[in-house]
Structure 1
Amino acid sequence: MIALQKDYQEKVVPALREALDIKNPMLTPKLEKIVISVGSGEASRDSKLMQNIQDTISLISGQHAVVTKARKSEAGFKIREGMPVGVKVTLRGERMWNFLMKLITIALPRVKDFRGLPRNGFDGRGNYNFGLDEQLMFPEVDYDNIIKTHGMNITIVTSTESDKEAFKLLELLGLPFAKGRENG
C-alpha cells in the first residue's frame, strides 16, 4: 500500500469526518480518478511529435496513454474528423495514488518560483483542475529525448459534489494550495 493511501485511511478520513461532520462513513469524500491530458495543436500534423508526447505521458503516469482523435471537422483549426488532437491517460487505484504522491513530493517542489496551486480550479462538482507548463519537472523525463516541451492538464476527480469538501480532502492529502482566500 502506498504511503499516501495509508495516510488517507488512517489520518485523513477521521479528520474529514470530524471537520465536515459526516456521520455515515460511506459519505466520506475520496479520490476516484486522476486524468492527465495534453492537447497538441501542431503535433496533429507531426506523427513523431505526437508519439513523443504519448511516450512522455506514459512514462510520467506509469500507464499507457491513448491518442485522442477529433470527433468532428473544424475548418478554422484545420482539423479533420479522426485526426489526432491530443493524448490522455486515466489513472485509478494504485497508479493514481503513486502519481499523486510523486506529484506532491517530487514534481511540484521542482517547479521554479512555485507559490502553490490555484484555489479556483474547482468546477462546482467537487473536481479539481490545474495545468502544468512543462513536463520536465518529473524525474522520469529525460531532456535529451524531448522533441518539444509541452504542458499538461491534470484533473482530480473526487466522490463528492461539494467544492468545499473536495478542497478539504485535497488539502489534508497534502496538495500545496496557494495562500489566500478560502474556497467554498
Structure 2
Amino acid sequence: MSTTAPAQAGTIQPRLKQKYRAEITKALTEEFGYTNPHQVPGLVKIVVNTGVGEAARDSKVIDGAIKDLTAITGQKPQVTKARKSIAQFKLREGMPIGAHVTLRGNRAWEFMDRLVTLALPRIRDFRGLSPKQFDGHGNYTFGLTEQSVFHEIDQDKIDRVRGFDITIVTTAKTDDEGRALLRALGFPFANPAQ
C-alpha cells in the first residue's frame, strides 16, 4: 500500500501536497518531536490581496486588478469596498478600493507550487524572503511589487504595475514551526546573517 494514495479516484494531487505528505510531515515530526500526526503544521489557506487607491478617481482601474488576480489565481476575486468615507482621499463609503482572493485546498497547494518554482525566481535582484515577517502564530505575509513575475500575466497587456500582498495561513502554533514548514516547502528565505 502506497502512502501517497489519491484522495478520490480520478483526481490528481498537487505536486507540493504529495511532497508534504510523503517527506515533510516525517521531517517536521522528527524535528519538533510531535506525538500526534495532527500536530504537524499544514497549509490552511492563501490570501492574495491588492489595494487600488486610484480606483476612487478612475473606476476602470479596479477592472484591471480583478483581471490580473483572476489570471494569477484562477479564481474570481472579491472586491474590497471602503468602510468609511475619508474626504482627504476623495473616498466615499462603499467605493471599490481593492480586491482579494482566498485559495483553499488543492488550489492553494498549486498556487504555492507556482509561486515558489516560477514566480519568485523571476524577481529581479531577488535575495530571498525575509524570515522575520511571521505574525507570532506561524502565518507568513509578504508583498510582491509587480504582477509581471507571474507567467500568467501577458507582459504586453499590463496597463499599470500592481503589487500584491500574499498571506500564507498555516496550522503552526509558533513562528519557528511555520518557518520550518515553509522552508521545507521550498520558500527561499534570506540568510539573516547577510
Give the shorter-chain TM-score range: over 0.9
Give the secondary structure class of the aligned counterpart of 1:121.
coil
Identity between Structure 1 and Structure 2 (%):
49
**Could you tell me which residue of structure 1 aligns to residue 78 of structure 2?**
66
**Could you tell me which residue of structure 1 aligns to residue 26 of structure 2?**
14
Give the secondary structure class of the aligned counterpart of 1:136.
helix
5 Å matches for 1:68-107? 68-107=80-119
Q: CA shift at 1:71, angstroms? A: 1.2
5 Å matches for 1:128-143? 128-143=140-155
**Could you tell me which residue of structure 1 aligns to residue 43 of structure 2?**
31
Give the secondary structure class of the aligned counterpart of 1:154.
strand
- What code does the residue aligned with 2:164 have? M
- What code does the residue aligned with 1:56 have? D
1:146 matched to 2:154? The reply is no
- What code does the residue aligned with 1:166 have? G
Runs of 5+ consecutive residues of structure 2 not aligned to the other structure: 1-12
Superposed CA offset, 1:132-168 (max 9, x none): 0100011110122221111100000001221110000
**Could you tell me which residue of structure 2 aligns to residue 108 of structure 1?**
120
Q: CA shift at 1:120, angstroms? A: 1.2
**Could you tell me which residue of structure 1 aligns to residue 6 of structure 2?**
none
- What code does the residue aligned with 1:114 have? F
**Could you tell me which residue of structure 2 aligns to residue 162 of structure 1?**
174
Q: CA shift at 1:179, angstroms? A: 1.0
Distance in 2 separating the partners of 1:143 and 1:3: 27
Give the secondary structure class of the aligned counterpart of 1:51.
helix
Measured on the aligned residues, the alpha-carbon RMSD in Å equals 1.0
Distance in 2 separating the partners of 1:44 and 1:140: 27
Give the secondary structure class of the aligned counterpart of 2:45.
strand
Runs of 5+ consecutive residues of structure 1 not aligned to the other structure: none
Would the aligned equivalents of 2:81 and 2:96 in 1 still touch at CA under 8 Å?
yes
Alignment size in residue pairs: 181
- Greater shift, 66-75 or 108-117, is seen at 66-75
Give the secondary structure class of the aligned counterpart of 2:147.
coil
- What code does the residue aligned with 1:153 have? D
Q: CA shift at 1:180, angstroms? A: 1.5
Would the aligned equivalents of 1:132 and 1:153 in 2 still touch at CA under 8 Å?
yes
Distance in 1 separating the partners of 2:177 and 2:108: 20
Bigger Cα Rg: 2
TM-score, normalising length: structure 2: 0.90
Would the aligned equivalents of 1:44 and 1:50 in 2 still touch at CA under 8 Å?
no
Distance 1:76 1:125, change over 3 A: farther
TM-score, normalising length: structure 1: 0.95
